[in-house]
Structures are given as structure tokens and as C-alpha cells.
Amino acid sequence: MKRLAVLTSGGDCSGMNATIRAVVRAGLANNIEVVGIQKGYQGVLDRNYQLLTTKSVSGKLQLGGTFLQSARCREMLTEPGQRLAAENLQGLGIEGLVVIGGDGSHRGAQTLRQRGIPVIAIPASIDNDIPFTDMSLGVDTALNNIIHAVDCLKDTASSHDRTFVVETMGRNCGYLALAAAVASGAEYALVPELPFDIDQICTALRRRYQEGRDNSILMVAEGAGKAVEIADQIKDRIGFETRIMVLGHYQRGGSPSTFDRLLAARFGVAAVEALLAGESGKMLGLRCGSLVLTDLEETIAAGRKPLDPGLLKLSQTLGI
């Protein structure tokens, strides 16, 4: 192998830059040129790329986001777009491709594999909903961001006898909200996977107040409801002073945690090693501390990873 490429696609997350760095260093260590594709699959179609060197990735490890940038690309959903992407990569002499992203990015990777491009995918999604991996890139940093915000919020909540409703990302998956509730000591976690009764929540909040516990934190995944609407319902039912905090894209950014930096290094080096070993059409995953390869056909067919039953049981035991 003389030349490989790396791209980031879909939503950004912390740890992507560290992964690119690892791919570049692993490639150069094996005397392979590494091409960085700008703006994901759109960059493949536009032939928007740059040769990456150790200087290119110097000082990038600790930065959030992706210096190669990312973009949605509807053309990759079409047969002509997929054909052009494969032709462009072949024209550039690309003998292996590393795709860093979520489910949609992996679907694009699979179409390229079917057109003869050797490809290895790396799971990157703060929702942690990609199957066949215990943790995806960026999840740990996003959780740390949430916990920092909630810890600060608890200070003011306790000072003013307030209930705060904190909205996290998670349109279809409540992992962030549930894990953050456990880690921050929140009273409730509302997630899209499970129904909830606002009247029961209000009754419990009133009981807490009568017991002398006069502040509360409710974590809400965006797919379970809007923070402002839930806060209004609580205020209307029991009259508590209620405030909201919508964390939004704050969760995606920031310097990657130590865990994400180490995971990024492992993913990046393993991706290059897998391509050199002749592997293709597979996703790297972290399973019980070890890196494993799973066929992209299998990961795509599995759909969204269900909410961790162990985490759910833990939250219930803790009274969340």
C-alpha cells in the first residue's frame, strides 16, 4: 500500500482530530502517504484534499472538532454520486480509506467498499448509539461537558430553591441524559426509549420539597421532550420556580478527554493496521476493553444500539 485517505463525516465530536493524527502517524510509520479529504464525502466528490504530514497534525490532538471539517452529502445517497466518489478515490491512487463518523457515514463507507475501495470505519457519535462497540468516539468528552455544566448548575439551584430542567442531545437515544443523571446525581432522566408521567414527577417533586429537599435536576434527552415545555408543565402543576438549560452543541466541542484521546489513538492505528492486513468493509469497535472488527453489513443491519440495560438498572436502583 502506497497511499491511503482519511475523512470525517456527519456530526463532529471531540477526538476526531486525535484519530486523524493517529492515522497519519501510523501511515507514515509504514511509508504510506496519507491524504486528508476535506468536508467528508463532499470533499471526495469535489476532489478537495491535502497530503498530510506530521506537521499537518502537530498540535491537533488536544483540539475538539475536526480540522478536515465535515459536511452532509446527499449525493452519496445516489448511485451516480457513489460511482463518482469511487472513481475519484481510484483516480487519486487511494488504496485504503478510513472513515470516521456515525451510522450514515458507515453506510457511505459500505457503498464505496462495494465499488472496490478498501475501507475501515471508526465509530464517532456522542449519542453512543452505534452497535458493536461499547463506546463511540466523543461520548466520554460529551459526558464530561454535561457533568461540568450540571455541577455548576447545582450550585445556583441549591442557592435559590429551584428546579432545573437540563436538555441534552439525543433525538432517538437517551444514553447521554441517563448516564449524566447517574454521574451528576440528578433526580430524574427522561429518555425517548421510556414513557414518563409528568404528574407522577410533579408529585415526587412536591414530596421532596416537603421533606426539605428544595432543589432538583431533571435531565431530558431532546427526543423525550423540550426542556421549556417540561419546565412550564412543572410550574403550572405545582408552582415551583423552574429554570431550563439547553446544552445544545456545547456538548460536542471542547478538548477531548483522556479516555477519548487514548481511544482515538487506538482506533487510528488499528484502522491502518487492518487495511495493511487486507481487511475491508469493517468497523472497529471497543468491546470489553479490546478492539474488534465487525462487518459493516452487520453493523448497519443492526440499526441503533438499544439503551444499556445495565445503566438503566443502575439508575433505577439509585432512584432516578
pLDDT in tens, the chain (320 residues): 999 999 999 999 999 999 999 999 999 999 999 999 999 999 999 999 999 999 999 999 999 999 999 988 999 999 999 999 999 999 999 999 999 999 999 999 999 999 999 999 999 999 999 999 999 999 999 999 999 999 999 888 777 778 899 999 999 999 999 999 999 999 999 999 999 999 999 999 888 888 877 788 999 999 999 999 999 999 988 887 889 999 999 999 999 999 999 999 999 999 999 999 999 999 999 999 999 999 999 999 999 999 999 999 999 999 98
> What does the chain come to in residues?
320
Distances 224 to 166, 182, 215, 299 between C-alpha atoms, Å: 12, 17, 22, 25
pLDDT digits (tens, 9 = 90+) for 112-127: 999 999 999 999 999 9
pLDDT at 229 (0 to 100):
95
Cβ count near 117 (within 10 Å): 21
DSSP 237: H
Q: Which of 16, 215, 3, 220 is nearest to 123 (CA)?
A: 16
pLDDT digits (tens, 9 = 90+) for 15-40: 999 999 999 999 999 999 999 999 99
Which residues, 6+ apart, have CB-to-CB distance to 34 below 8 Å?
A: 3, 4, 5, 6, 23, 24, 27, 28, 51, 52
Q: In the structure grid, which three cell numbers stand for residue 194, read together? A: 421510556
Q: What top-level class would CATH report for the domain 3-138+256-303?
A: alpha beta
Residue spans in the chain of domains classed CATH 3.40.50.460 = 142-253
49-52 and 33-37 strand pairing? antiparallel
Residue spans in the chain of domains classed CATH 3.40.50.450 = 3-138+256-303
Answer yes or no: are the C-beta atoms of 235 and 259 closer than 8 Å. no
CA distance 186 to 179: 10
Q: Which residues are part of the catalytic machinery?
A: 127
pLDDT digits (tens, 9 = 90+) for 181-215: 999 999 999 999 999 999 999 999 888 888 877 78
Superfamily in which the 142-253 domain is placed by CATH: Phosphofructokinase domain (3.40.50.460)
